[in-house]
Structure 1
Amino acid sequence: MNKNALDPAWIADQLTGATWQTASSGGQTCVQVAFLDQGIVALRDSKNPDQPPHLFTDAEYDAFVAGIQRGELRRP
């Protein structure tokens, strides 16, 4: 799946009906995630939900989460 080739109207429709999940420990400053059709994952900032989300393929999202779990994305 090439996420860059997705139809903008399809993306807009998917985001309108998306169920956004927030970590329970995040309070008001969290990353929210929505799992869309066709293996696309959307991430957005809970403080700015009207801004366009970042879109990832399932594989990209899985690699991102795995990197977090391994501690690879910590600040130096």
Structure 2
Amino acid sequence: MLALDPSGAWRKSSFSGGNGGGDGCVEVAVLPVGVVAVRDTKDRARPPHVHSAPAWREFLAGVRAGEFDA
């Protein structure tokens, strides 16, 4: 579980919710303990996925490079 409460720190992805229905929305909170929390906007009651800041940066670099494109 998170050591810190990220309440108020959540930011929605700029690519989320483009269809008006909110499908596929992702929120991210960068916490001062060096971790990044990621959650599904539609299911905020579930615990977020927590990643180290370097792992999150590596994931984002892969997304930008198209590593996950079908």
Give the TM-score normalised by structure 1: 0.73
Number of the residue aligned with 1:34: 29
Q: Does 1:21 align with 2:11?
A: yes
Q: Which amino acid aligns with 1:26?
A: S
Identity %: 35
**Structure 2, gaps ≥5 residues long:** none
**Structure 1, gaps ≥5 residues long:** 1-7
Q: Going by fraction, where is helix more abundant, 1 or 2?
A: 1
Structure 2 Cα separation of the partners of residues 24 and 66 of structure 1: 16
1:48 to 7, 27, 43: 43
Q: Quote the RMSD (CA, aligned, Å).
A: 1.7
Runs of 4+ in 1 over 2 A off after TM superposition: 15-18
